[in-house]
C-alpha cells in the first residue's frame, strides 16, 4: 500500500475532533506517514494535539478489512453491491421507502455524506438517514434554528483570542478540543483573558480557569436564566438590537422566575460569574456536550443564546455564543442535510418550496416529504421491525448508542444489515450480513467543515489497501444498481463537491445561510489546490461572522429569544442512587478503532474506569484500582475505580470509548439512558441513574 514518497508533504486535515487542524502528511517509502501540524492552516497554525501527532501510528493494516464479506465469507464487490441493491429495492417495493434506513457518521467526508443524503432523500424517497452526530450536537442545531432561523455558528476561533472573558460551559476543551484550548491558553497569557469553566466536574480545563462553577448537574439553563435576569437588572439589554428580536419579554419573565438555589452554587460564586460576564462586552460562551447531551439540551442552548442576543454580543470580534462540535465533520453533515429532519444546504424538509427546489435540482423521482427517524427512534424501529433493511456507514452504534445492548440486539435481529467500515471486526460489523471495506482517513479525497464553518480539503496520502473503496463510490454504485445511474455517475469527489456547491446556490437564492456557489463547477485541478475557506462564499457573501447587523434568517428577518423553564434532570431512586456522567478522554477517539492502534495513545489511560468521589468509594467499600460493577436499568459495565475529588459526591464519571471486546467489559454505552430531548432528539448521555457495587467475579 506504499506510494512513491513525494518531494513535498501533502496538506490534509486531522480526522478527529471538530477543531479541524491542518496536517502535513509525508508518506514514507517503507510505509506509514510522517505527521506535522500545518503552519499555514488557520485552525491550528502548526499545532497538533497528541491524537493528531499520533496519526502516523494508526495507518497500518492491522485489523483492516480488505475484501467485502457476505455472511462471514469473502465475496466480490459486484456480488456484495448487487445484494445490497436488491435487498433494499425488494424491501422498498414490498414495504415502502420508510422501511429502510441509513445510519451514518460525522466521520464521513462531506462528499460521502452528500451522496448518502441524495440517495435516501431524493431517490429512495425517505428521510430515514440519521447520524451519530445526533448524539453530539443535535441540540445546538435545534437551538440555532429556533433562535436564528438557521443552523448558523455566528463566530470564529479568533473570537476566543480577542475576548476579554471566555465562558466554557459543558466543555472540557483541554481534552476534547486541545488545540483550541491551546489557542485560548496562549491568549490568556498575553491578554489576561478571564476564563470561567462551568462544569460539575473539575476537569483539566479548570487548570486555566479564573473561576470554576461546579454547578448542580443539569442546572445550566437556570444559570443562564439568572444571567439574563441580571442583564436586564443592570440595564444591559441593547435597545437597538432588541428591536430585531421576538420573544424578549417572555424570555425575561421566565428568567425572572428562576431561583438561584436551583444551581447549587454559593451566592458569592454566582455573583462573581454574573459580574464577570456582564462587565465584559467581549464575551464568548463556548458550549459542547455538557449542554447538548441532555433531555432539555435545546432549552439549555437557547438559554445561552438568549443572553448574547439580549446584549447584542454576537457576531462581532471577540463575542458571541460558540457551539464546538465533537466530530471532524459534524458541520459538513449538517450542510448536506445528513440529519433526518433537514434537507441539503440547510434547507427545510417541511418547507414545500425548499423540497421542490432540491427535487428539481436533483431531478429526483420521489422526494422525502417529512422528517425521518432520529437515531434513538431509528433503532427502536429496527427493533420492532418497521425498519427491515439498514445500512450503517462509518460508525459503531452497537457500542456508542445509548442502551447499546438493546441496539445490538435490534441490529442482530434486523432482516438485512450492511456495514461499511475500515475494520471488519467491530462490535457492529460482526452483526451484519454484508460488510464492505471502506477507505480510511489517509486514503480518501474530500472536504470537511470544522466548528467555525471552515471547509478544508482532506487529501489522499496513501493508496487504498486491498479492495477498499471510498464511501461515496460505494453509495453511488448501489444507487446505480437500484436504477438511478445518471444521478450517481460522478467519477471523483471533486465532481460531487461541485454539484453540492451548485445546489448551495439554489439554496442561497431561497435565503439559506449556507451558500458556497463560488465553487459551483470547480475544476478537478482547483479542487486539488483548494485552500481552507469559511462559508458562505458566494457573489454576495464572503465568509466572516453572522448576525452583527441584527438580521437573522427567520422569515421576518428577526432573531428569536426563547422563554426557558429550566428542567431538573430525571430524579434518582433508591434502586439507582448515583447519577453517571460520561464523556471523552484526551487520547482516545470514539470506540478506539483507530486510536487503540497507537501504544503511545493507550498509555495515557489504559483501561475503562469509573471516577468516584472518596466518600462514595468509602461508603461502597471500593478501594482505588478495584473493580466496580455498574448497573443501570439498561445494562452493565465493569470499570476500574479511580478515587478522586474531581467529581462531586453522587456523580461518578466514566469515559465512553471502550468496547465489548475489552475484558472486563467497559462498554459504557450499555448503561446510558436513551431518554431524548423532545426538540432535538439528542439523548441525555450525561445523566444516567446507576447503582454501583464491588465487582465479584462469577
Ligand atoms: Fe486533531 Fe482535534 Fe487534536 Fe486538532 S485538536 S490535532 S483536530 S484531535
Q: How far, in Å, is the centroid of ligand 1 from the Cα of 657?
A: 17
CA 37–ligand 1 middle distance (angstroms)? 10
State the Cα–Cα distance between residues 456 and 44, nearest whole angstrom. Answer: 12
Whether 314 and 165 share a structural domain: yes
The CA 16 to ligand 1 mean position distance, Å, reads 6
Residue 565 counted as domain residue: no
CA 13 / ligand 1 centre spacing (Å): 9
Residue 550 belongs to some domain of the structure:
no
Ligand 1 mutation target, pool 12, 18, 19, 180, most atoms within 8 A of CB: 19
Beta bridge partners of 692: 630
Instruction: Please indicate whether residue 324, judged by its CB atom, sits closer than 6 Å to ligand 1.
Output: no
With a pLDDT cut of 90, the percent of the chain lying above it is 89
Comparing 181 with 608, the larger pLDDT belongs to 181
Ligand 1 pocket check for 21: Cβ under 6 Å: yes
Burial letters 145-167, b for 16+ CB under 10 A, else e: bbbbbbbbbbbbbebbbbbbbbb
Question: For position 590, what pLDDT does the model report?
Answer: 82
Q: Which atom of ligand 1 is nearest to the CA of 44?
A: 4
* CB-ligand 1 contact for 178 (6 Å cutoff): yes
Coil, strand, or helix at residue 513? coil
Q: Residue 570 pLDDT > 60, yes or no?
A: yes
Tell me, using a 6 A CB cutoff, whether residue 174 lines ligand 1. no
Question: How far is ligand 1, taken at its centre, from the CA of residue 178, in Å?
Answer: 6
Ligand 1 lined by 52 (C-beta under 6 Å): yes
Residues 90 and 178 in one domain: no
Mean pLDDT for 540-546 is 93
Question: Does 572 fall in a domain?
Answer: no
Nearest residue by C-alpha to atom 2 in ligand 1: 17
The verdict on 154 and 119 lying in the same domain is no
Q: What is the pLDDT of residue 598?
A: 83
For residue 540, being part of any structural domain is answered with no
Asked whether the predicted pLDDT for residue 4 surpasses 80, the reply is no
Is the CB of 49 within 6 Å of ligand 1?
yes
HSE-up of residue 402 (Cα within 13 Å, Cβ side): 31
Same domain, 589 and 615: yes
Q: What is the 3-state secondary structure (H, E, C) of 92-105?
A: HHHHCHHHEEEEEC
In this structure, the strands spanning 559-560 and 627-631 are unpaired
Q: 163 C-alpha vs ligand 1 centroid, how far in Å? A: 22
For the chain, the domain total comes to 4
Distance separating alpha carbons of residues 683 and 297, to the nearest angstrom: 9
Same domain, 229 and 319: yes
The C-alpha cell at 653 is 464519571
Same domain, yes or no, for 515 and 618? no
Tell me whether residue 530 is in a domain.
yes
Burial class (CB in 10 A: 0-12, 13-18, 19+), 430: middle
Average pLDDT on 65-75 reads: 98
Regarding the beta carbon of 54 and ligand 1, being less than 6 Å apart is answered no
Same domain, 261 and 304: yes
With a CB cutoff of 8 Å and minimum separation 6, the contacts of 336 are 110, 113, 114, 117, 344, 345, 500
State the pLDDT at residue 656.
Answer: 83
State in Å: Cα 22 to ligand 1 middle. Answer: 9
Of all protein residues, whose CA lies closest to atom 4 belonging to ligand 1? 21
The pLDDT, as a whole number, for residue 659 is 78
CATH at residue 15: 3.30.200.210
* Beta carbons within 8 Å of 42's beta carbon, 6+ residues apart: 22, 157, 454, 532
CA of 50 to the centre of ligand 1 (A): 8
Strand partners, 36: 24
Which residue's entry shows cell 477517539?
Answer: 589
Task: Tell which of 292, 324, 356 closes a domain.
Answer: 324
Band the pLDDT of 663: cuts 50, 70, 90: low
Q: 477, 506, 534 — which closes off a domain?
A: 534
Does ligand 1 lie within 6 Å of residue 141's CB atom?
no
Q: Do 353 and 490 have their domain in common?
A: yes
Domain encompassing residue 216: 138-324
381 in contact with ligand 1, CB cutoff 6 A: no
Phi-psi region of 677 (alpha: psi -120 to 50; beta: other; left: phi over 0): beta
Q: What CATH number is given to the structural domain containing 631?
A: 2.40.40.20
Note if the bond before 536 is cis, omega within 30 degrees. Answer: yes
Same domain assignment for residues 110 and 145: no
Q: How far is the CA of 588 from the centre of ligand 1 (A)?
A: 11
Q: Using alpha carbons, select from 72, 70, 136, 134 the residue that is nearest to residue 103.
A: 134
Q: What's residue 479's pLDDT?
A: 98
CATH number, domain with residue 224: 3.40.228.10
Q: Of 534, 566, 597, which residue sits at a domain end? A: 534
How far is the C-alpha of 528 from the C-alpha of 526, rounded, in Å?
5
Q: Is residue 64 part of a domain?
A: no
Please tell me the distance between residue 586's alpha carbon and the centre of ligand 1 in angstroms. Answer: 10
More confident position, 63 or 663: 63
Averaged confidence pLDDT in the chain: 95
Alpha-carbon torsion 251, 256, 262, 265, what sign?
A: positive
Are residues 401 and 522 part of one domain? yes
Classify the C-alpha dihedral 638-644-646-649 as positive or negative.
Answer: positive
Q: Do 624 and 617 contact (CB within 8 A), yes or no?
A: yes
Mean pLDDT of 154-163: 97
Over residues 309-334, mean pLDDT: 94
b/e burial code for range 80-103 (CB count within 10 A of at least 16 → b): bbebbbebbbebbeebebbbbbbb
Residue 497 belongs to some domain of the structure: yes
Alpha helices in 130-257 (DSSP H): 138-148, 158-162, 173-176, 178-191, 220-233, 239-242, 248-256
**pLDDT the model gives residue 3:** 44
Contact predicate 283/163, CB 8 Å: yes
In this predicted structure, the answer to whether residue 661 has a pLDDT above a threshold of 80 is no
Question: DSSP code of 532?
Answer: P
Q: Is 15 in the pocket of ligand 1 (CB under 6 A)?
A: no
Distance 144 CA to ligand 1 centre (A): 25
**Residue in 12, 13, 17 to alter for ligand 1 test, most ligand atoms within 8 A of Cβ:** 17
Length of the chain measured in residues? 698
Q: How confident is the model at residue 2 (pLDDT cuts 50, 70, 90)?
A: very low
354/444 same-domain check: yes
Query: What number does the ligand 1 atom closest to the CA of 43 have?
Result: 4
Tens-place pLDDT, residues 330-371: 889 999 998 898 999 999 999 999 999 999 999 999 999 999
Q: What is the mean pLDDT of residues 171-190?
A: 96
* pLDDT tops 50 at residue 584: yes
Q: What CATH code is carried by the domain that includes residue 455? A: 3.40.50.740
Instruction: Give φ, ψ of 419 to 5 degrees.
Output: -130, 130
ipTM: 1.00
Q: Which of 21, 45, 585 to mutate to test the pocket of ligand 1 (most atoms within 8 A of CB)?
A: 21
Q: Is the dihedral of CA 225, 231, 237, 241 positive or negative?
A: negative
- Give 610's strand partners: 641
The contacts of residue 279 (CB under 8 Å, 6+ apart) are none
Q: From CA 557, how far away is CA 371, in angstroms rounded?
A: 25
Whether the bond into 132 is cis, omega within 30 of 0: no
Give the pLDDT band of residue 21 (cuts 50, 70, 90): very high
Which carries the bigger pLDDT value, residue 5 or residue 407? 407
Q: Which residues contact 289 (CB under 8 A, 6 or more apart)?
A: 136, 170, 171, 176, 326, 583, 685, 686
Report d(CA 408, CA 432) in Å as an integer.
Answer: 10
pLDDT in tens, 111-145: 999 999 999 999 999 999 999 999 999 999 999 99
- Mean pLDDT for the stretch of residues 51-79: 95
Beta strands at 389-393 and 533-534: parallel, antiparallel or unpaired: unpaired
What is the reported pLDDT for 629?
Answer: 96
**pLDDT of res. 382:** 98
Q: What is the pLDDT of residue 1?
A: 39
Q: Are 128 and 101 in contact (CB under 8 A)?
A: yes
* Mean pLDDT to the nearest integer, 447-471: 97
> What is the distance in A from the centroid of ligand 1 to the CA of 549?
32
Residues 33 and 161 in one domain: no
For residue 1, is it within any domain? Answer: no
Which residues are 73's β-sheet partners?
70
Residue 16 Cβ < 6 Å to ligand 1: yes
Amino acid at each position: 500500500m506504499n506510494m512513491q514518497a513525494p518531494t513535498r508533504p501533502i496538506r490534509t486535515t486531522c480526522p478527529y475532533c471538530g477543531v479541524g487542524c491542518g496536517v502535513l502528511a509525508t508518506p514514507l517509502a517503507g510505509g506509514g506517514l510522517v505527521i506535522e501540524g500545518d503552519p499555514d492552516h488557520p485552525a491550528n497554525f502548526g499545532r497538533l494535539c497528541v491524537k493528531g501527532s499520533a496519526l502516523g501510528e494508526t495507518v497500518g493494516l492491522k485489523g483492516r478489512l480488505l475484501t467485502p464479506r457476505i455472511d462471514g465469507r469473502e465475496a466480490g464487490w459486484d456480488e456484495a453491491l448487487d445484494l445490497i441493491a436488491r435487498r433494499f429495492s425488494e424491501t422498498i417495493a414490498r414495504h415502502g421507502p420508510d422501511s429502510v434506513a441509513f445510519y451514518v457518521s460525522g466521520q464521513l467526508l462531506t462528499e460521502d455524506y452528500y451522496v448518502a443524503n441524495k440517495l435516501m432523500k431524493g431517490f429512495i424517497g425517505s428521510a430515514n438517514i440519521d447520524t451519530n452526530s445526533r448524539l453530539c450536537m443535535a441540540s445546538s442545531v435545534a437551538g440555532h434554528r429556533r433562535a436564528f432561523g438557521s443552523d448558523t455558528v455566528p463566530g470564529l476561533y479568533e473570537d476566543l483570542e480577542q475576548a476579554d472573558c471566555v465562558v466554557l460551559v459543558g466543555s472540557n476543551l483541554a481534552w476534547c478540543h486541545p488545540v483550541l484550548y491551546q489557542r485560548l491558553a496562549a491568549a490568556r497569557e498575553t491578554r489576561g483573558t478571564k476564563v470561567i469553566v462551568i462544569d460539575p466536574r473539575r476537569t483539566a480545563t479548570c487548570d486555566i480557569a479564573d473561576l470554576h462553577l461546579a454547578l448542580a448537574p443539569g442546572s445550566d439553563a437556570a444559570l443562564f436564566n439568572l444571567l439574563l435576569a441580571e442583564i436586564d437588572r443592570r440595564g444591559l439589554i441593547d435597545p437597538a438590537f432588541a428591536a430585531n428580536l421576538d420573544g424578549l419579554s417572555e424570555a425575561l419573565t421566565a428568567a425572572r422566575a428562576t431561583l438561584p438555589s436551583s444551581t447549587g452554587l454559593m451566592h458569592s460564586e454566582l455573583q462573581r460569574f454574573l459580574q464577570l460576564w456582564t462587565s465584559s462586552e467581549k464575551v464568548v460562551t463556548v458550549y459542547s456536550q455538557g449542554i447538548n447531551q441532555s433531555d432539555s439540551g435545546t432549552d439549555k442552548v437557547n438559554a445561552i443564546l438568549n443572553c448574547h442576543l439580549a446584549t447584542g454580543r454576537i457576531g462581532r470580534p471577540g463575542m458571541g455564543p460558540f457551539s464546538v462540535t465533537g466530530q471532524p465533520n459534524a458541520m459538513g453533515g449538517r450542510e448536506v442535510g445528513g440529519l433526518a429532519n433537514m434537507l441539503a444546504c440547510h434547507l427545510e424538509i417541511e418547507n414545500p418550496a425548499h423540497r421542490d427546489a432540491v427535487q428539481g435540482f436533483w431531478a429526483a423521482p420521489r422526494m422525502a416529504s417529512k422528517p425521518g427517524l432520529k437515531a434513538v427512534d431509528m433503532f427502536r424501529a429496527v427493533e420492532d421491525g418497521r425498519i427491515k433493511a439498514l445500512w450503517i456507514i462509518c460508525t459503531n452504534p452497537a457500542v456508542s448508542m445509548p442502551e447499546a445492548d438493546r441496539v445490538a440486539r435490534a441490529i442482530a435481529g434486523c432482516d438485512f444489515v450492511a456495514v461499511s467500515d475500515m475494520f471488519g471486526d467491530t462490535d457492529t460489523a460482526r452483526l451484519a450480513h454484508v460488510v464492505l471495506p471502506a477507505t480510511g482517513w489517509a486514503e480518501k479525497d474530500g472536504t470537511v467543515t470544522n466548528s467555525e464553518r471552515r471547509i478544508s480539503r482532506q487529501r489522499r496520502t496513501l493508496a487504498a489497501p486491498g479492495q477498499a473503496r471510498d464511501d461515496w463510490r460505494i453509495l453511488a454504485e448501489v444507487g446505480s444498481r437500484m436504477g438511478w445511474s445518471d444521478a450517481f455517475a460522478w467519477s471523483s469527489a471533486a465532481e460531487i463537491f461541485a454539484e453540492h456547491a451548485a445546489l448551495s446556490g439554489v439554496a442561497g437564492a431561497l435565503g439559506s445561510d449556507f451558500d458556497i456557489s463560488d465553487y459551483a463547477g470547480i475544476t478537478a485541478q482547483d479542487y486539488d489546490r483548494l485552500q481552507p475557506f469559511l462559508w458562505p462564499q458566494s457573489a454576495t457573501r464572503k465568509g466572516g461572522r453572522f448576525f452583527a447587523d441584527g438580521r437573522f434568517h427567520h422569515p421576518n428577518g428577526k432573531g428569536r429569544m426563547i422563554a426557558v423553564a429550566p428542567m431538573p434532570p430525571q430524579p434518582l431512586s433508591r434502586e439507582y442512587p448515583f447519577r453517571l456522567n460520561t464523556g471523552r478522554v484526551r487520547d482516545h477517539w470514539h470506540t478506539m478503532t483507530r486510536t487503540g492502534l497507537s501504544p503511545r495513545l493507550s498509555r495515557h489511560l489504559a483501561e475503562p474506569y469509573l471516577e468516584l468521589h472518596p466518600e462514595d468509594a468509602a461508603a461502597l467499600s471500593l478501594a482505588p484500582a478495584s473493580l466496580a460493577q455498574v448497573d443501570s436499568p439498561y445494562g452493565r459495565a465493569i470499570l476500574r475505580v479511580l478515587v478522586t475529588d474531581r467529581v462531586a459526591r453522587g456523580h461518578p464519571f466514566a469515559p465512553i470509548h471502550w468496547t465489548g471486546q475489552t475484558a472486563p467489559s467497559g462498554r459504557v454505552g450499555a448503561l446510558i439512558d436513551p431518554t431524548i430531548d423532545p426538540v432535538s432528539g439528542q439523548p441525555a448521555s450525561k445523566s444516567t441513574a446507576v447503582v454501583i457495587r464491588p465487582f465479584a467475579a462469577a
